[in-house]
Every structure is written in C-alpha cells, then in structure tokens.
Structure 1
Amino acid sequence: MAADETLAADIDAVCRLSGEFTLRSGLVSNEYFDKYLFEADPRLLDRVADQLVDLLPEGTELLGGLELGGVPIATMVSAKTGIPALFVRKEAKDYGTCKLAEGPDVAGRRVTLIEDVITTGGAVRAATTALRERGAVVAVVVCAIDRSPVGLNPLADVGLEVRPVLTKAQLDARAR
C-alpha cells in the first residue's frame, strides 16, 4: 500500500453507499459497497492494477480474471505486464466452444487468479477447482479487496494464497 497511500480512502469514497440495501444473504443493511464503481472509474482501476502488478507471483504465465468483476482488472494488469489474460466464466458455456475459460489453453500453465472482492471465496474456489481439473497450476489469487475476517484465509482449504491490495479493515479505517 505504500506506493499509493490514498487508494483506500479514494475507493471508499466512491464505492461506499448509504441507504437501505438488501444483501445477497437476504439481510437488509444501511450500507453497501458497490465494487463496480471503482472498476468503472479508469483512474481508480489503473491505480488498483498498478498495485496488483506488484502482488503477482514470479512465474505467472496467465492472468485469470473471474467473471464479472475480475475481468476488467485482469485486462488492465495484462496490458501493464504483457502477461496474457484469461477470462474465467462461472460455468462453461453450453454452446460454441463450450469453454470455461476464454483465452489461451491452461493445461500445464501457472495461472494467477484475479478477483475484485473476496469475502468467502466461493467463486474463486469454484474457478480454482475447475481450472485445476483442466490442468492449470493455481496457487495464488490477487484481489483488489479482501473482505474476509482479519487473519483468516477463506481459501486455505483449496491451498490458495490470497494477496490483496486492500482489506476491509483498511477501507473501514478510511471511511468518510
């Protein structure tokens, strides 16, 4: 975070909304974090991508952007590094090429997953399993924001290291 001390405050200011929101869980909250607002802002997206470049493990051969939020980030990081992007669907298409991942073949390649926000890691876990079944080597996921509880790796059960640009605690500390 040292390279961009204001990133947490800027993302929080753009993405934290107040009002009445029904969450995926069905609970109602007076606060909502709209992650797509930072992804739609080219300056913020560029700053997040700059930070993610520094988190990529050595030897990354493909950047696997998860549908939908990880795709713009992976594209931006790919443009900055020259590492090819891969667009990972939630499930394989049932028409055309019937691919789970659009882009280069993953078999035998080291894929670093890219996600926007991780809370429980469900989408990342499913993508990891599916990519490994196709022969990919997946050991790290980098994300813009890790919303999981402090000190907990929600993806330890599938042997993934999580490398976030920001944590929920950092965003909360910068809240307006």
Structure 2
Amino acid sequence: MERIELAKEIFKTAHLTGTFKLRSGKESDHYFDKYLFESNPRLLAAIADHLIPHIPQNTEILAGLEMGGIPVATALSLRTGLPVVFVRKKAKAYGTCKLAEGAAIGGKNVTIIEDVVTTGGQILLSAADLKTYSANVNDVIAVIEREQAGRTNLEDAGLSFHSLFKMEELLLASQTN
C-alpha cells in the first residue's frame, strides 16, 4: 500500500463524528479512534511495513507501550524478527511484578513503539522506567504525531523521535481524491 493511500485508509477507518467527551473533559464533534486502525490486520500490516525503515539499525528490542503501542510493536516484531517487550504504565502488583513483560532488556538497545504521540508524557515516564532496568533507550517510533509538543518534549529529553504521519498529513490526505 502506498503511503498516501495508507494515510487515507487510516483516516477513513479511525476518524469518527458525533459527540465525544475527551480526556481533557471537553466535548468534541469528532474523534480519532486509533484502536480501529490497530485492530484492522490489513492496515496494521501496512503500517508495520512503512515503519520498518524508521527502526534504528542498532535496535535490539522493540518496546510496545500499554496499550496502543503493543499491537504496533507486535506487528513490527513479526515483520522484522526483532524481539518485543510489552511495557506497563505501572508494574503489576502480583505474579512476576514486572513493568516490562517479554524479552530481557538489560544492556540492550530498546526502541519505544507508540501509536499516537500528543505530549509524549507517558513515553518519558516509560523511558525512565526502562532505564532503571538498564535498558539503553534513545529512540521512539510512533504511527501518528498528533502535536508538535510531543516531538519537542521527547527531543528535549534526548530521545530521537520518528513518526510515520503527522495528524495534519492524515487530514490533508482525507481531502484528496
């Protein structure tokens, strides 16, 4: 699938109209439901194919953040053969009590995978958490860069940020034939 076609498909699949309460508490007449494109196997495979060139060469582990980064990281793992780890927002309080489930990350070059980045706040928290487990975290890859603030915050923290699409690109693609 060509990049512009992928942008159109993501927008067509995930853009909803109606009345929606946002995380901020405000109401909006439109909403972007990222889980709709992540649960579509055809789109998820195409997204993974387009993200592969963004994976830094020294990456040893892909780290999918709870919850939206997990399907994207899994799809990338299946396409590249790179091991994956699933990163919780908070370590579970039972069983293994792990923050990161899956491959061992100590001393490894770990690239964080996320679906949509707005401010980058959770990525910064998760990167710090992964570093406490001796992971080398320098890169973040996202499907959609919603706001410039996310890029700025991540880069200010010393992380390289790569995104497949900016939200404006999806909006523009939806308006073309």
> Match for residue 114 of structure 1?
113
Where do 1:134-145 residues align within 5 Å? 134-145=133-144
**Alignment coverage as a number of residue pairs:** 175
How far the C-alpha of 1:151 sits from its partner, in A, is 9.6
Cα separation, 2, equivalents of 1:22 and 1:50? 33
Instruction: Provide the residue aligned with 2:4 in structure 1.
Output: 5
Aligned equivalents of 2:80 and 2:151: distance in 1?
Answer: 29
Gaps of at least 5 residues in structure 1 are none
Structure 1 CA distance for aligned equivalents of residues 84 and 104 of structure 2: 11
* Preserved CA contact (<8 Å) 2:138 2:159: yes
Q: Aligned partners of 2:91, 2:126: CA distance in 1, in Å?
A: 10
Correspondence for 1:175 = 174
- Residue 13 of structure 1 aligns to a residue whose secondary structure is helix
Equivalents in 2 of 1:68, 1:147: separation in Å?
A: 17
Residue identity in the other structure for 2:21: T
Q: What is residue 153 of structure 2 aligned with on the other side?
A: 154
Q: 2-side partners of 1:151 and 1:25: how far apart?
A: 16
Secondary structure at 1:125 match in 2? helix
CA drift at 1:162: 1.2
Percent of residue pairs identical = 46
Shift of 1:105: 1.8
Gapped runs of 5+ residues in structure 2?
A: none
Match of 2:27 in 1: 28
Secondary structure at the counterpart of residue 153 of structure 1: helix
- Corresponding residue of 2:44: 45
Q: CA deviation at 1:4?
A: 2.3
SS at match of 1:132: helix
Cα separation, 1, equivalents of 2:40 and 2:112: 22
* Preserved contact between residue 118 and residue 146 of structure 1 (Cα < 8 Å): yes
Give TM-score, length-normalised by structure 1: 0.94
Cα distance change on mapping 1:148 and 1:28 into 2, 3 Å: same
- Distance, in Å, in 1 between the alignment partners of 2:149 and 2:50 is 20
Q: Is the 8 A contact 1:153 1:162 kept in 2?
A: no
What is residue 163 of structure 2 aligned with on the other side?
A: 164
Q: Pairwise mapping of residues 94-109 of structure 1 onto structure 2 (< 5 A)?
A: 94-109=93-108
Distance in 1, Cα, partners of 2:61 & 2:168: 30
1:172 is displaced (CA, Å) by 1.4
Q: Distance in 2 between matches of 1:155 and 1:88?
A: 18
Runs of 4+ off more than 3 Å: none
Normalized per residue, the structure richer in helix is: 2
Partner SS state of residue 7, structure 2: helix
Q: RMSD across aligned C-alpha pairs, in angstroms?
A: 1.6
Scaled by the length of structure 2, what TM-score is found? 0.94
Q: Does 1:70 align with 2:69?
A: yes
